Amino acid sequence: MKLVAKDVSYSYRIGGRKIIAGLSFTAESGSYWCLAGPNGSGKSTFLRLACGLLPLETLTGELSWDGRPLLEWTRLELARNVSFVGGALRTHFPVSVAEFVLQGRYARSPSFWVHPTAADAEYSAGCIERVGIAALADASIAEISAGESQLAMIARALAQQPRVIILDEATANLDLRYQLRVFELLESLNKEGITIIVVSHDVNVAAEFCPNALWLNDGMVYSQGTMKDTLTPAVMQDLYEVGDRVAIGESPYTKRPKIFWK
């Protein structure tokens, strides 16, 4: 599923500050992108816009999925095609992991008021197994670890049967084990043809798995292209104001670009 943004600008209704300013970007169907840039550069806002999760009154420019303007998509149509996975899970509801993941099946229900079927439960159970947390199916979603919660949110996203998965800070606050599990899972899903777009501040980890990068600054595109071509000292210096403290090399094992401190 292809995402196209042409000269997109956006501001929040309260305050009116422009968060996105003339952004143009294309994610081809089946591609895999990392969105990176300093805090406040518009990454999360842009992706929430693309998912239809923000009011669109102040949106200007063209934003479309598969050539169809975002404004023409219903919420149900978007939910059946695009899954959004946010950051840390915050919930106090006493639901199990299985019940939490089953919520994703509402995107495939003929009506919100129609309860999930046995087939829905079986499908969501398969999603739980796919992300590797089947042993936690009966555990309370509020009592599992941060890494397990992230995998549960991805399982719920998979339960929607999406063509696109968008993740905002998918591995924030996760240890190395869960960072690896999340990114290996995303890599596997991308190989199946699912478009993956992930926001990450851990550029070194993202560079190991994401072939492409879109760098934002002040709501505008600073650079875009392959991770290897765009992860440069100039990008680090201009976007993060680190001066000459960083160098870019490559991993001796995977040949992927890496940031080194000097």
Task: Write the pLDDT tens digit of every residue in 37-95.
Answer: 999 999 999 999 999 999 999 999 999 999 999 999 999 999 999 999 987 677 777 89
Q: Which domain holds residue 156?
A: 96-161
- Which helix (H) or strand (E) covers residue 126, if one does? helix 118-130
What is the distance between the alpha carbons of residues 98 and 152, in angstroms, rounded to a whole number?
Answer: 9
Q: Are residues 107 and 156 in the same domain?
A: yes
User: 155-183 burial, b if ≥16 CB within 10 A, otherwise e?
Assistant: bbbbbbebbbbbbbbbbeebeeebbebbb
Q: Are residues 47 and 59 in the same domain?
A: yes
Per-residue pLDDT reduced to its tens digit, 158-169? 999 999 999 998
**Which among 161, 190, 218 is the end of a domain?**
161
> What pLDDT is recorded for position 92?
72
Q: What is the pTM of this model?
A: 0.92
**Which among 161, 181, 208 is the end of a domain?**
161
CB 98 within 8 A of CB 137: yes
**Which among 146, 161, 176 is the end of a domain?**
161
How many domains is the chain partitioned into structurally? Answer: 2
